[in-house]
Amino acid sequence: MKKVTLSTLLKKKQSQEKITALTAYDASFAKLFDEQGIDVMLIGDSLGMVLNGQDDTLAVTTDDIAYHTKSVRSGTNRAFVIADMPFMSYSTPQTSYQNAAKLMAAGASMVKVEGDEWLADTIAGLRQRGVPVCGHLGLTPQSVHVFGGFKVQGRSDSAAEKLLASAKALEQAGIQMLVLECVPTELGKRVTQALSIPVIGIGAGVHTDGQILVMHDMFGVSANYMPKFSKNYLVETGDLRKAVMQYIEDVHKGQFPGPEHSFE
């Protein structure tokens, strides 16, 4: 299979072919996911919760992400690799340049940042320096204490309009992909239709251009809890490879997420 690039993912959006993504943290699982045909692997700061057992993602460092990015890249031949920029690692444009360089050198093909219009200068600066950027809106885990917990975002009309405006502003600033987390299904659809870049949902309904899950949630082995938007594919299939294949098939057919994994 051909190597997945940003052009590949954009063509999938344009042809309405669903994009599949999972988090990954080591070479062995990266190889397994890659061989089954996963399009995108994200080295998420979720590792603070699923690998380290923390209550949130805030203690994860750039060095942590770089270490796991190098491991994932070692097991990957075709999938597109994205690395999370951890809490406060992109608080200023200059800080973001240094930390993004470390993640790209470790093997990432793109970095992901959480936030809205305040990131415009940082995004533009990274793009000018050859670093593709993925945005992240909705429930942004690095802001969990601002939200007062892991809560669905964009439920009121005003909040939905603000999030939609933020998505458009981030695209204008130069992001080339967007992760949209824990928003009502209809808002996920509106954002996806409004942007020309791929929108990858996690708890954002079935209408986004693709789906991403935390691998530990998909296998039902998370240390903390199973989110409503996730599905335990391992209990259905009894085999890691079959679980990934079933996830890919369900996303391609528009069967995942179902209403039970979505928010209204």
List the structure tokens of 195: 């942007």
Strands 19-23 and 80-84: unpaired
49, 71, 83, 202 from 57: Cα distances, Å = 6, 20, 14, 17
Give the containing element (helix H, strand E) for 213.
strand 210-213
Residue 158 assigned to a binding site: no
Residue 74 assigned to a binding site: no
Looking at residues 49-73, what average pLDDT do you find?
A: 95
Task: Verify whether residue 181 is a known catalytic residue.
Answer: yes
Tens-place pLDDT, residues 121-136? 999 999 999 999 999 9
Torsion (CA) 42, 261, 184, 170 in degrees, nearest 10: 10
Domain boundaries defined on the chain: 6-261
Tens-place pLDDT, residues 209-226? 999 999 999 999 976 678
List the structure tokens of 69: 């990015």
Residue 84 assigned to a binding site: yes
Q: How far apart are CA 188 and CA 23, in angstroms?
A: 20
Catalytic residue among 17, 117, 181, 186: 181
**Would you tell me how many other CB atoms lie within 10 Å of the CB of residue 128?**
10
Compute the mean pLDDT over every residue in the chain, rounded to the nearest whole number.
Answer: 95
Which of 3.20.20.60, 3.40.50.300, 3.30.160.20, 3.30.450.370 is the CATH number of 6-261? 3.20.20.60
Under the banding of pLDDT at 50, 70 and 90, the label for residue 150 is: low
Residue 193 has pLDDT above 80, yes or no: yes
Residue 114 assigned to a binding site: yes
Decide: 98 and 85 in contact? Cβ < 8 Å: no
pLDDT at 223: 63
3-state secondary structure of 106: helix
